Amino acid sequence: MNSLHLTKPRFLLLLAAIFTLGSAGHVTAAGAHPGHRVLIGYGEGLMELDAQKKIVWHYQNPEVELVHDAWKLENENILFSHRHGVREVNAAKETVWDFKVPRTRDQEINACQPLEGGKVMILDCGNQKLLEVDRQQQVTLSIDLPDGGKAPHNRYMQARKTALGTYLISYREKAKVIELNASGDVIWEYALNKTDRPFTAIRLANGNTLVPCITSNRIIEITPGGEISWELNTEDDLGFQILFPIGIQVLKNGNMVVINTDYHHRQGSSNDVQAFEITRQKEVLWTLKKADLEKSGKVPVVEEGTKMPSHHLFSIQVLGENPMLK
């Protein structure tokens, strides 16, 4: 069973924009800005929302938790990572491809990415390896990652293969982002503040790298020379609180759609805005709120540690946009 994956340029030629944005620098009145059709991965599953923020497709399975990464493919299937593997399901929620690791505490998968030829890149946190796997589940490339620490859950958050064939890895506990070539050599590295925990790293067309930092509540853009060229943080008045910025997608007009997750946050109940779109001028154009999710039937989970009702959003893909910028 072959899947049509998100590759360039063929993928971009097949996509059509599904909305038109207003001019930059203008704050659109609430409700006037066109909505987004989005795919969201969250702690316990997946959901697709239409432009009116209504959940039109929802997937949960007892085997699935911690959906850090999710991709809608050209054939309408969904590829996603979860704690113990990477799975592809169709619209009928049938599993069509399933890569598994043992369900033990020393194993965890935190990222996946569709590649050319139907291959899938997988971030194997338990074995500290970056894998490329074909449709027959044969490993065609294996890169040993520089040590990420003792606990698999805290080693790495996400990985991305760039257009140049290199790999960006976000190190959670070591608070850094590194770039490797296919031989596993470190060709670029950026050390973050000790208070930062990078969730992902996105290589932009200008060569800069966009990094959302979870615990420091900020998003930074880093030049190849290691300078911060743009930053969004809690000092910016957005009209709501930035909690943990996690999943991001950069749109073709330069705007960003950001997950503002409540995962593990002890004031998570105050987090009304679960996702938002923001311009480079830091104007918020679109929000997804708790009420939007709950009105459509999503039930929050009360975390044992924080006692907070949380929706646990992680990954976001704006459908009709370039998914490689997420």
Share of the chain above pLDDT 90, in %: 84
Residue 147, Cβ neighbours under 10 Å: how many?
A: 10
**Which tokens is 282 given?**
């830091």
In the structure, what pLDDT confidence band is assigned to residue 265 with cuts at 50, 70 and 90? confident
pLDDT (mean) for 109-128:
97
Higher-confidence position of 249 and 215: 249
The one-character DSSP state at 268 is G
* Mean pLDDT (whole number) for 265-269: 78
What structural domains and CATH numbers belong to the chain? 10-19+28-325 (2.130.10.10)
Residues ≥6 apart with Cβ < 8 Å to 274: 259, 260, 261, 262, 288, 289, 290, 292, 293, 311, 313
Sign of the alpha-carbon dihedral angle for 95, 97, 103, 109: negative
Backbone angles phi, psi at 324, to 5 degrees: -70, -10
pLDDT interval class at 264 (50, 70, 90): confident
**Contacts for 185 with CB less than 8 Å, ≥ 6 apart:** none
Which DSSP letter does residue 309 get? Answer: E
Two tokens at 308?
A: 């907070």
Cα atoms in the Cβ-side hemisphere of radius 13 Å centred on 296: 18
pTM score above 0.95: no
pLDDT (0 to 100) of residue 267: 79
> Among candidates 300, 313, 226, which has minimal Cα distance to 263?
313
The predicted-structure confidence for 302-312, as pLDDT tens digits, reads as follows 999 999 999 99
Residue 292 CB coordination number (10 Å): 20
Which of 69-78, 205-214, 257-266 has the lowest average pLDDT?
257-266
Determine the pLDDT at residue 20: 31
Round to whole Å and give the CA distance between 116 and 111: 17
Residue 274's alpha-carbon distances to 32, 48, 115, 230, 289, in angstroms, are 19, 15, 29, 22, 5
- The pLDDT of residue 32: 61
185: amino acid identity, one letter: D
- Least confident interval from 16-25, 39-48, 90-99, 238-247: 16-25
3 state SS of 269 = helix
Write down the residue that tokens 């615990």 correspond to.
Answer: 215
**How many other β-carbons are positioned within 10 Å of the β-carbon of residue 261?**
25
